[in-house]
């Protein structure tokens, strides 16, 4: 019997576990997660109003309920208070790290540390009830917001800023976030990219959704579309469809809606300006196409008022103590999923997902990524399976002072969230802090 630990219960971790048990009937998998709740970014990264995408939890659940898969939540690997990588390795024939990209990229401009300047990651964690998220008063006193970035996460946070409480109430958004959004005085959100519309990274479905929000109009500067030199007929289908949507919005007369979302392009942030001790505006430099797919500064500047600035310019992996790390790519060096130490692949240690390839692709991209890693692992299995292990890895975890949250504990959290929803007259409502989650889990 080959015993494998998968660290991380998001899509990449679950697809890795699924491929392992489907590929070899002699494999048993423990899926470990730092949080007491499974599903990773499907639970804590998908916006509450995207219920169709969140329904992916159902297929991930099937994996975690497989007879040869065991979920162990509340298990920190590496770092302060965590189980050292070396100790984990002693308890399993192989370990696959599917820990994602846990931090965001920064702008690197003056004023970025001002109160009111946050990463989109922080904001998403707050409205998704991540237990590490703090209610920092994101929306207090905010009338205008700037979202820097033009990908799907930028679209998500823009949409959430202007969604009404009536629209969000049927979702599982935590009550505190719902109350804060309901009380928000935001009337204007600018979503800004430094390059042109043809280079935007959002998908057409996400983009179009902005135009369906009640009481909200979307504006696009026709000049930005005229400045983009791309030939629409030469673009991929997604970009062509995006441009069609943007042209339609640019041609519409002002509707005088209560809230407005402005899509801006060819603006590069150069400084966040203070007002009363917090961010008050973003200074942008106007850019222009450089003829090589990039942009160059024009020396012309524009200040956009904003009491909230959310940067959404990409994710980045962080080092895991005990594993090698490439600081340039933000990934663990690997060869077809095998961790590479000092230039040499190390059978028994593997990676999958964003920590393997970087923060690229969509959820489905994790399937072939996991398959490649599992193929390497199973090829190494004959050499790995001969090593003697403890009778049960739980012995190793408990000796380190870790009492994992089992699947039954997660089911108890689900029941507590359903009960909270019933008390509040809503659907399921997420629990939003460590103590409450762990208390619910221990009630199982």
3-class SS string, the chain: CEEEEEECCCHHHHHHHHHHHHHCCCEEEEEECCCCCCCCHHHHCCCCCCHHHHCCHHHHHHHHCCCCEEEEECCCECCCCCECHHHHHHHCCEEEECCCCCEECCCCCCCCCCCCEEEHHHHHHHHCCCCCCCCCCCCCCCCEEEEECCCHHHHHHHHHHHCCHHHHCCCCCCHHHHHHHHCCCCCEEEEECCCCHHHCCCCHHHHHHHCCCCCEEEEECHHHHHHCCCCHHHCCHHHHHHHHHHHHHHHCCCCCCCEEEEEECCEEEEEEEEECCEEEEEEEEEEEECCCCCEEEEEEEEEEECCEEEECCCEECCCCCCCCCECCCCECCEECCEEEECCEEEEEEEECCHHHHCCCCCHHHHHHHHHHHHHHHHHHHHHHCCCCCCCCHHHHHHHCCCCCECHHHHHHHHHHHHHHHHHCCCCCCCCCCHHHHHHHHHCC
pLDDT value of residue 390:
85
Tell me the two tokens of residue 339: 């961790």
Rounded CA separation 349/20 (Å):
15
Mean pLDDT of 389-409: 93
Look at residue 314 and tell me whether its pLDDT is greater than 90: no
Q: Provide the pairing of β-strand 278-289 with 94-97.
A: unpaired
Res 102: pLDDT? 74
Each residue's pLDDT tens digit, 131-168: 999 878 899 999 999 999 999 999 999 999 999 999 99
Residue 67 pLDDT greater than 80, yes or no:
yes
pLDDT bucket at 312, cuts 50 / 70 / 90: very high
Mean pLDDT over 338-342 rounds to 96
CB 380 within 8 A of CB 92: no
Bridge partner residues of 422 (DSSP): none
Least confident window among 66-70, 104-108, 110-114, 320-324: 104-108
Mean pLDDT for all residues in the chain = 94
Q: What pLDDT, in 10s, does the model give residues 104-122?
A: 889 999 999 999 999 999 9
- Over residues 45-55, mean pLDDT: 89
Burial (0-12, 13-18, 19+ Cβ within 10 Å), 364? exposed
C-alpha–C-alpha distance, residues 280 and 306, integer Å = 5
- Tell me the chain's radius of gyration from C-alpha atoms: 23
pLDDT reported for residue 105: 87
Confidence of residue 15 (pLDDT cuts 50, 70, 90): very high
Rounded Cα distance between 411 and 407, Å, is 6
Report, as an integer, the average pLDDT of 54-75.
Answer: 95
Q: Read off the tokens for 84.
A: 């050292």
Is the model's pLDDT at 269 over the cut of 80? Answer: yes
Separation in Å, CA 33 to CA 100, 306, 343, 422: 12, 37, 29, 28
pLDDT in tens, 282-310: 999 999 998 888 899 999 999 999 999 99
pLDDT for res 103: 77
The CA distance from 292 to 344, in Å, is 38
Q: Rounded mean pLDDT of 418-423?
A: 97
pLDDT band at 362 (very low <50, low <70, confident <90, very high): confident
230: pLDDT strictly greater than 80: no
Cα separations (Å) of 325 from 58, 288, 313? 33, 36, 21
- Given a cut of 90, is residue 319 above it in pLDDT? no
Averaged pLDDT for residues 204-232: 91
d(CA 429, CA 417): 5
> Do the bridges between strand 334-335 and strand 338-341 make them parallel or antiparallel, or are there none, so unpaired?
antiparallel
């Amino acid at each position: 019997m080959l015993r494998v630990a998968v660290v991380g219960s998001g899509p990449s971790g679950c697809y890795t576990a699924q491929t392992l048990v489907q590929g070899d009937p002699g494999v048993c998998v423990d899926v470990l997660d730092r949080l007491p709740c499974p599903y990773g970014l499907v639970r804590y990264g998908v916006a509450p109003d995207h219920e169709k995408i969140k329904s992916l939890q159902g297929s991930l659940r099937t994996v975690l309920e497989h007879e040869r898969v065991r979920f162990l939540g509340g298990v920190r690997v590496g770092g302060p208070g965590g189980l050292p990588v070396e100790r984990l390795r002693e308890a399993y024939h192989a370990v696959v790290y599917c820990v994602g990209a846990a931090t965001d990229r920064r702008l690197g401009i003056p004023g970025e540390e001002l109160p009111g300047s946050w990463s989109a990651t922080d904001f998403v964690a707050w409205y998704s009830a991540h237990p590490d998220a703090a209610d920092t008063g994101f929306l207090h006193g905010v009338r205008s917001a700037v979202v820097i970035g033009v990908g799907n996460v930028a679209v998500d946070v823009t949409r959430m800023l202007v969604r009404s409480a009536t629209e969000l109430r049927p979702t599982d958004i935590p009550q505190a976030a719902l109350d804060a959004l309901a009380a928000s005085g935001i009337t204007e959100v600018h979503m800004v990219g430094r390059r042109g519309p043809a280079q935007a990274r959002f998908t057409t479905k996400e983009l179009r959704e902005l135009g369906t929000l009640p009481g909200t109009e979307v504006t696009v500067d026709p000049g930005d579309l005229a400045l983009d030199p791309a030939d629409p007929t030469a673009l991929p289908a997604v970009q062509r469809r995006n441009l069609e949507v943007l042209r339609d919005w640019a041609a519409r007369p002002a509707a005088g809606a209560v809230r407005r979302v402005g899509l801006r392009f060819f603006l590069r942030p150069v400084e966040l300006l203070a007002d009363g001790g917090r961010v008050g505006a973003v200074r942008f430099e106007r850019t222009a196409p450089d003829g090589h797919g990039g942009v160059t500064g024009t020396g012309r500047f524009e200040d956009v008022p904003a009491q909230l600035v959310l940067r959404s310019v990409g994710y980045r992996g962080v080092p895991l103590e005990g594993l090698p790390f490439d600081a340039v790519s933000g990934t663990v060096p690997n060869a077809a999923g095998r961790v590479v130490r000092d230039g040499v692949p190390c059978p028994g240690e593997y990676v999958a997902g964003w920590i393997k390839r970087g923060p690229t692709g969509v959820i489905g991209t994790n399937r072939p990524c996991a398959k490649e890693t599992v193929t390497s692992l199973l090829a190494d299995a004959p050499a790995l399976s001969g090593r003697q292990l403890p009778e049960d890895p739980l012995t190793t975890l408990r000796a380190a002072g870790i009492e994992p949250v089992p699947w039954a504990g997660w089911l108890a959290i689900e029941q507590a969230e359903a009960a909270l929803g019933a008390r509040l007259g809503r659907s399921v409502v997420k629990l939003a802090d460590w103590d409450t989650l762990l208390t619910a889990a221990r009630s199982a």
